[in-house]
Amino acid sequence: MIVGLAVVVVGVGLVFTLANPTTPPTPPATATPAGPVNVRVVVALGVHDWVAEAAENFNASGQTLDGRPISVEVTPMDGLVALRHFDAQTMDPIPTAWIPDSRWLVELANASYKTIKGRDVFLTDGEYRARPIALSLFAWGIYESRATVLENEFGAISWPALHDAALAPGGWPDLGGEPGWGYFKLLVPSPERNIAGLGALISAAGEYYDRPNIDVADVNNPDFQRWLSELLGAVQDFSSSWGYPGESLALFGPSGGEVGQLLESDIIQHMGGAETRWGESLRVFYPRFVTWFDYPFTIWIGPETTAPQKNAALVFMNYLLTDPVQAQAIQYGLRPVEDVPVDAEGSPFVEWQAQGIVPIVQSATRMRAPDREVLQTLLRWFELNVAE
């Protein structure tokens, strides 16, 4: 009887279902992608304009990661200033990526964090390793009239030659220049706020000792300190050119600074402006000991940023390394790290060759990166003896 009753119930239910069809169950909804992946990149001043333009084009191109749009925000910051923030752990918020002026800044920042946290925050190998995205180097930018006089007086342009020019008691007339030029004027950014200024001091020390590396004992040498003080006495104002010294060279002309060892890219970007404003071109000379800047794209690997942010930063880095974007870097006076020629038609490296710019820098001795003790000693000396 029980079995028969069950058969009847099932049969009635089947008849009812066939007579009253229902809407099939709704399948589970497909998860919609979350919001955009925001990538914040702190960028050295020397490549900021190029990277900012690239980021704008990147954002407009609709790049995605796992279906989520990627949004890149670029913040300009001198590499030396950024290093101080990392050392003091005051970088807030922590960027997804950092593009400093040189790899040695990355190594110093990572060593500081490793001492405090016991782990690396920037890597030198693997998928997230620091990778250069552009190159520039130190070069002399000198107003043409002054360059002619200096070459006639000293031959090659060097820090020792400029030291002697700075000490000329009668100024330019003693060197063979015009009386109206006054005294020799040197342009050096503040080493406390601009890595180009610190690099100039390191470069000067290298030429003083005639070797591509210096140590703390070299910096503390009283004879060298006296020599460096005499050289820097020719600087008109350390504060006016702390951000973009090439711009200051072109904006204020010979009255603000006639000679400066600056980033080649900074000089190139302001060659035309100097010529238009002052009626004379800048000439470019390359030092014996060359200081290179490689602008490594460095991804923060700590828990302060998410895995999607790290991977989105990789997407943006690879975008910067594409040939069209590398070619655009040339227009900013930067040298590409990929196989993109710098001497193509329309390149500033071709436009300004007559003023001394060379598409290919011949083999030269590379100035070695200083360690933290050398940096601190140089900056402390500058603070006590030169800073205004």
**Residues 300, 98: contact at Cβ < 8 Å?**
yes
- Residues sharing a CB contact under 8 Å with residue 102, sequence separation 6 or more, in sequence order: 79, 195, 292, 293, 294, 295, 296, 369
**Residues 235, 188: contact at Cβ < 8 Å?**
yes
**What pLDDT was estimated at residue 161?**
97
* Residue 47: CB atoms within 10 Å: 28
**With the C-alpha atoms ordered 70, 76, 78, 84, is the resulting torsion angle positive or negative?**
negative
The answer to the question of residue 342 being in a domain is no
* Strands, E assignment, 94-238: 97-99, 131-132, 134-143, 186-187
What average pLDDT score do residues 37-66 get? 97
Q: 207 and 227 share a domain?
A: yes
SS3 state at 357: coil
Q: 90 and 68 share a domain?
A: yes
Could you tell me the pLDDT band of residue 365, with boundaries at 50, 70 and 90? confident
The answer to the question of residue 340 being in a domain is no
- Residues sharing a CB contact under 8 Å with residue 69, sequence separation 6 or more, in sequence order: 36, 37, 62, 63
**What pLDDT was estimated at residue 295?**
98
264-289 burial, b for 16+ CB within 10 Å, e for fewer? bbbbbbbbeebbeebeebbbbbbbbb
Q: 380 and 273 share a domain?
A: yes
Could you tell me the pLDDT band of residue 245, with boundaries at 50, 70 and 90? confident
The answer to the question of residue 99 being in a domain is yes
Residues in the chain: 388
pLDDT, greater one: 24 or 299? 299
Q: 154 and 127 share a domain?
A: no
**With the C-alpha atoms ordered 136, 139, 141, 144, is the resulting torsion angle positive or negative?**
negative
SS3 state at 123: strand
**What pLDDT was estimated at residue 243?**
62
Cα 83 from Cα 102, distance rounded (Å): 11
What one-letter code names the amino acid at 194? N
For residue 259, the enclosing domain spans 137-292+359-385
Q: 267 and 365 share a domain?
A: yes
**Residues 311, 388: contact at Cβ < 8 Å?**
no
Question: Average pLDDT over the chain, rounded to whole?
Answer: 89
Q: 148 and 274 share a domain?
A: yes
- Residues sharing a CB contact under 8 Å with residue 134, sequence separation 6 or more, in sequence order: 47, 50, 294, 295, 326, 329, 334, 335, 336, 337
- Residues sharing a CB contact under 8 Å with residue 223, sequence separation 6 or more, in sequence order: none
Q: 187 and 146 share a domain?
A: yes
The answer to the question of residue 368 being in a domain is yes
> Phi and psi (nearest 5°) for 53?
-65, -40
Query: 95-150 pLDDT, tens per residue?
Result: 999 999 999 999 999 999 898 888 999 998 899 999 999 999 999 999 999 999 99
The answer to the question of residue 341 being in a domain is no
Q: What CATH number does residue 171 fall under? A: 3.40.190.10
Cα 330 from Cα 327, distance rounded (Å): 5
The answer to the question of residue 338 being in a domain is no
The answer to the question of residue 13 being in a domain is no
Cα 181 from Cα 185, distance rounded (Å): 9
Query: 273-295 pLDDT, tens per residue?
Result: 999 999 999 999 999 899 999 99
The answer to the question of residue 162 being in a domain is yes
SS3 state at 388: coil
pLDDT over threshold 90, residue 32 = no
- Over the Cα atoms of the chain, what is R_g? 29
**What pLDDT was estimated at residue 130?**
95
What is the secondary structure of 223-256 as a DSSP string? HHHHHHHHHHTTBS-SSTTSS-HHHHHHHHGGGT
Q: 238 and 311 share a domain?
A: no
Q: 146 and 190 share a domain?
A: yes
Query: 167-206 pLDDT, tens per residue?
Result: 999 999 999 999 999 999 999 988 988 888 999 999 999 9
Mode of pairing for the β-strands spanning 134-143 and 365-366: unpaired
Q: 307 and 281 share a domain?
A: no
Q: 156 and 203 share a domain?
A: yes
Q: 275 and 141 share a domain?
A: yes
pLDDT, greater one: 27 or 97? 97
Looking at the structure of the chain, the number of domains it has is: 2
Query: 321-342 pLDDT, tens per residue?
Result: 999 999 999 999 999 999 999 9
